[in-house]
Every structure is written in structure tokens, then in C-alpha cells.
Amino acid sequence: MSVPADAPSGRHDRRDEYTHGHHDSVLRTHSWRTVENSAAYLVPHLREGLRVLDVGSGPGTITVDLARRVAPGEVVGVDASAGVVAKAAGLAASAGVDNVEFRVGDAYALEFPDASFDVVHAHQVLQHLARPVDALREWRRVLKPGGVVAARDVDYGGVIWSPASPVLTRWLELYHDVHAWNGGEADAGRRLHRWARSAGFADIASSGSVWVFASAAEREWWGGAWAERATESQFAAHAIESGHSTAEELRAIARGWRDWAADPDGWFLMPHGEIIARA
């Protein structure tokens, strides 16, 4: 079986499944995200009255924030999970933001006419897709002339932490293996520009930014969430199902995350690639 040019490195079958799943430990970290900490590169391109599509909108925190910034413009969030869509709709209602709606949708086959949106935004989405170039082509289809696709993805190949931890080194190796088994690309950040160019975009501006977790509260939150993911989330199930890990090893990884979180010198950095691609 041949592998298409846009396939993630190392992939020979194409499960195209979401590595993280929607366990509470995953949604908890997603719910921290805002435009300021996760889409600052997009801010200069936002203005009142724009129509925005947020692909892979998850629990909706970024989506609702986008809606506030472009009001009275309309924002639509789409996600593959009906349960997560319902949670996002509840968030918008509780926040009193009424220029946003959430729908179940497919990143490869959006149920919108051509040239429907001024901005298509996707945060941490392309890394999970087996066909990122196909998705970008579809997002380009629904973009108005002069509009922008804005995408940001982590690059796990650049993740660094302190103090040194063989257990976290093993976690990172395992994360790459499981991500690839699911059809994704854990080092997506560095590939965004190339994927966008392959999708037909000629005007592409690339940038980068980082998340850093270092305070006691940040370590407890991030390390605790990953300790749970390591044993209770879909990531754990996939690690065992794929044969890349065992329940015993995953428990050790969870302890490693808790040890890191408890260390007053603990420090963790996640780099991200970003693109603004014009139709």
C-alpha cells in the first residue's frame, strides 16, 4: 500500500483516530485555552463583523473568545464529538455569548458552501489527522477570497523539561509511537508550512510560540492531567492496544509526571508552529 505525500512520517496504515480522546483529563487542559494563550498570532487578523469557522473546537473556550472579538460577526465551531459539542454550547450559553454556534462536523468534509468564512481557525487539529493536506484543501474551499486559514500545532520533537527524567523521556518516545499508530504526526508544528503549500496556499506566514509550565500551580495542573492521561484516557488504551506499552509501564509514567509536578525546580516547555495562510 502506497502512502500519500501528505501522510505523517512513519505511517503505513491510516487509523485517523484522535490520540487523546475526550477523557476529563484531556478536556481539563483544553478548557484552559484562550485566544491570548493559544492564538495570539491570529489577533492582528481579527476584527468586528468577521465570520469565523473554528475546526476541532473542543470544549469551546477559544471559540467563545473568538466570538467576543469579532462580534457582531458569527463564529461556528465544529467538532467530531457530539458530547464535546454539547459542552461547548453550554459554555457559550453560560457566558452569554450569542454570536456563536457549535455543530458536529468532519474536518475533511465541511457542510458549508464555498467561500463561506473570512477566517478558518484550527488549534491542535492537524497533528491528529492522517490527511492534513486534504483537510487544509477543504478549509481553503470554504474560505472567502482574501480570507485566512490560521493553524497552530505543537511540535513534540522540541519539547524540553527539567530536571532530567528517564521516565518522561520514555513518555515522549511512547507519545510519538502512539500518535503515529493513530495516523497523526506528533511533530506537526514544523510541517504546517509545507502542508499548507501542498494544499495550494501560496501566501503563507509562519511563526512560533511556546507554552511554559513552571509555577507550583502550573506543574500541579499539567503534571496531574498527564498522570491521569497516562493511565485513564484513550491514549492509555491505545498505548496498550498497539503493543507499545503495558499497564505497568503506564503507571510508572504517571508516577513520573507526579514526581515532576512535585519538584519545585520542575519546568516544561512545549513549542508550537503557527501559520497564517491566505486564499
Is the previous residue joined to 163 through a cis bond, with omega within 30 degrees of 0? yes
Which parts of the chain register pLDDT below 50?
A: 1-14, 19, 21-23, 25-29
pLDDT in tens, 63-74: 999 999 999 999
pLDDT of residue 32: 83
- Give the closest residue to 182 by CA, choosing from 15, 26, 56: 15
pLDDT in tens, 139-188: 999 999 999 999 999 999 999 999 999 999 999 999 999 999 999 999 99
- In the chain, what are the helix, strand and coil shares in percent, each to the nearest 5? 45, 20, 35
pLDDT of residue 30: 53
Q: Can you list the alpha helix ranges (DSSP code H) found in the chain?
A: 24-30, 35-38, 61-70, 82-95, 132-141, 166-181, 192-198, 216-232, 234-241, 247-262
pLDDT of residue 20: 52
The crossing angle, in degrees rounded to 10, of helices 234-241 and 247-262 is: 140
**pTM value?**
0.89
pLDDT of residue 31: 67
Cα gap 52→34, rounded to integer Å: 15
pLDDT of residue 279: 81
Cα gap 256→189, rounded to integer Å: 26
Q: Are 102 and 161 in contact (CB under 8 A)?
A: no
Cα gap 273→153, rounded to integer Å: 6
